[in-house]
Structure 1
Amino acid sequence: MAVSSFYIISASLALIIGTASCSLSLTPDGYWNRVFPSTPMPNAIRELLSPSPSGSGGRNLTNSSPPTPIFPTKACCCKWAAMSGYPGLSPMNCPPNNAPLYSLREDMQPGSKMNVTMMITPVALSGGRFFPRQRAQAIPFSTSNLTAILKMFSIQPESDRASLIRETLQDCEAAAIKGEVKHCATSLESMIDFVVAELGTREIHAVFTSAVNREEAVKVRSYRVGAGGGRMMTNKVMTCHNTVFPYAVFYCHNFAGTRVYMVPLVAEDGSRVSAIALCHIDTSNWNPRHESFRVLGVKPGTVPICHFIVEGLAWVPN
């Protein structure tokens, strides 16, 4: 057993070292091509590498707000984040009346109806752009350096944006809860390294919630689950959620027993959305005050709880 464990650990270290080698001399898209030579970079990720007119690598956060992301609208509020201690989404990061839509697995059966607000942009793109790894590593990333960060990006300390940035740092610094693996990726290269190491392979790809046949406007629509219903893609996944920061930072995490579904949604006007949903099979360790239990009328550990990935991406094996 000891020899076997040694070889497993050695193989994992070799995978990580091989992934990270020579990365400092590569651009982010060059690093992608090195790690995933046969997998084209999705447009939604490529958009995050585009140059920004603000000069900060992202939108000018001092006088503009990020566009409205894809947020379902069924739960009442976002206080669930503070009550549950569930990391990755602080109350300030979630507009009122736009909490994630929780559902049960049976809600993904063909013909099931749900009211969802959708706006399809490249869904990973809701804030800043990725800095190359070297530039990101040169910037302090901690609550103790918040003042310096705000000054660097000309953000007023008493502004709402500053509060959101503080909460992003706090979420990233918080210890993982039981059963969670987490990492805040401050560059695309950092995200790739973490995902490859945790999933144990380079044979992976990123999936997003996306429009199928037309652009979506921001409005509540009644969708029904299309033919075939929710189709399970895999039970091995790493999810990365966008955060509020002057440049792109993604909160990547996973819980054991998480399964990924592709759910076809069809609106009354014929608009179709290919939605990615996560189902958490074991919720016995979740805080009993988690908003999902109130919304669904269930108790911890009794049934799997599902939700759409509304802002971010999921990494799954090929």
Structure 2
Amino acid sequence: MDSRLTLFFFIVFYGLTTVVAVSHAALPSEVYWHEMLPNTRMPSVIRDLLRLGKDGVHVTAGKEMPKGGTTVDVRKGGVGVDTDHKGKPIEIQRVLIIYRYEASEDQLHDDQYVAIFFLEKNLHPGAKKNLHFTKTTPGATFLPRGVAQYIPFSSSKLPDILNKFSISPGSLEAEAVKDTLSTCEAPASKGEDKYCATSLESMVDFATSKLGTNVQVLTTTVDKETATQEYTVGSGVKKMAGPKSVACHGQSYVYAVFYYHETSDTTAYMIPLVGNDGTSVEAVAVCHKDTSAWNPKHLAFQVLKVKPGSIPICHFLPQDHILWASN
């Protein structure tokens, strides 16, 4: 049997052994999605995070561990976890979704950050903007909820987490873990409800608790990845129904973690874009009508030359970010 199509999760909870084998069938997390959201298509961004053999964290069974793997204890039992954590913490998360943060001088002069923001009044066919759409979420795999909920996820447990995943203190990887935990534990901004999902199941639960099950799950899709270029807004800009949406942003971590936040005074759009080289993009954007509680030195205000609370501010979502919206 092809090992890529078989996954064993071996978890022992206080002497109770549960074995789930998946072969030529949907993974348990996919089953949960279809049970909770029977009429909602699972985006490829999410499906990719369930694939076996992807860089990041791989859960295996038995005593034999892959090269470079480490064992993560789950109460009295354990699961094998192979980590391939690499890369620099993604600073764009901080200025894009954490509205209390002040932009750094480097970010103010980095086109990757600056180009994300725009004013709603400038969203019309023919509008032009220099953009670079690229995947920003680290290559990590969703853990099943039964595993994720028993792995420490707290700043107070940082030494234990680094030890379990064989991450050297002081390394870039350790800083990424620390930053993600800090982001997840920080208080929500005014008018915001936030949550960090460490499994697909918890992701679905949070979104449906805010929006119900009659939802669309939207992601930015790109024909091909290109360098920064000028894009033109095409006809067919679509405004999504409802004033509420739930956005989730991938974080730098050793397994898939998404920062979710719900804001009640927003408008979501699907925006067709065409690059100078012909590349087609269906971009997701969110416009925030009330920015009065944001840090006055947030990147958006400095880029757009506006004051907090004065005018709706919009931003594009990168490819690996997800927006949930009511139908």
Given the two structures, how large is their TM-score scaled by the length of structure 2? 0.76
1:102 aligns with 2:117: yes
Cα distance 1:41–1:176, how it changes in 2: closer, same or farther (>3 A)?
same
- CA deviation string 1:113-154 (max 9, x = no partner): 1000123x5x7x533110000100110000011111111111
1:231 aligns with 238
The answer to whether the aligner puts 1:209 opposite 2:220 as a matched pair is yes
Between Structure 1 and Structure 2, which shows a larger proportion of strand residues? Answer: 2
Whole-Å separation in 2 of the counterparts to 1:40 and 1:220: 30
Deviation at 1:285, TM superposition (A): 1.7
Q: Which runs of structure 2 are paired with 1:107-118 in the superposition (5 Å)? A: 107-118=122-133
Deviation at 1:65, TM superposition (A): 2.9
Give deviations 1:144-190, integer Å, cap 9, x for gaps: 11111111111111111110110100011111111110000010100
The one of 274, 290, 293 equivalent to 1:285 is: 293
The answer as to 2:197 corresponding to 1:189 is no
Q: Does 1:167 align with 2:174?
A: no
Conserved? CA contact 1:223–1:268, under 8 Å: yes
**TM-align CA RMSD:** 3.3
**Which residue identity lines up with residue 114 of structure 1 in the other structure?**
K
- Residue 240 of structure 2 is aligned to residue 240 of structure 1: no
Which residue of the other structure, out of 153, 161, 166, is the alignment partner of 2:165? 153
State how far apart, in whole Å, the 1-side matches of 2:105 and 2:150 are: 29
Which residue in 1 is equivalent to 2:322? 313
Q: Which runs of 5+ in 1 are unaligned?
A: 1-23, 72-76
Query: Contact between 1:82 and 1:90, CA under 8 Å: does it hold in 2?
Result: no
Q: Which is richer in helix?
A: 1
CA pair 79-278 structure 1, distance change in 2 beyond 3 A? closer
SS at match of 2:181: helix
**C-alpha distance in 2, partners of 1:94/1:244?**
22
Identity across the alignment (%): 40
Name the count of aligned residue pairs. Answer: 278
- Alignment partner, residue 4 of structure 1: none
* 8 Å CA contact retained: 2:41, 2:217: no
- CA offsets per residue over residues 23-67 of structure 1, 9 Å max, x none? x988111111111123332222111111136683398444x438x
- Assess, with a 3 A threshold, how the Cα gap between structure 1 residues 275 and 190 changes in structure 2: closer, same or farther: same
Please give the alpha-carbon distance, in whole angstroms, between the structure 2 residues aligned to 1:261 and 1:38.
21
d(CA) in 1 for partners of 2:185 and 2:195?
9
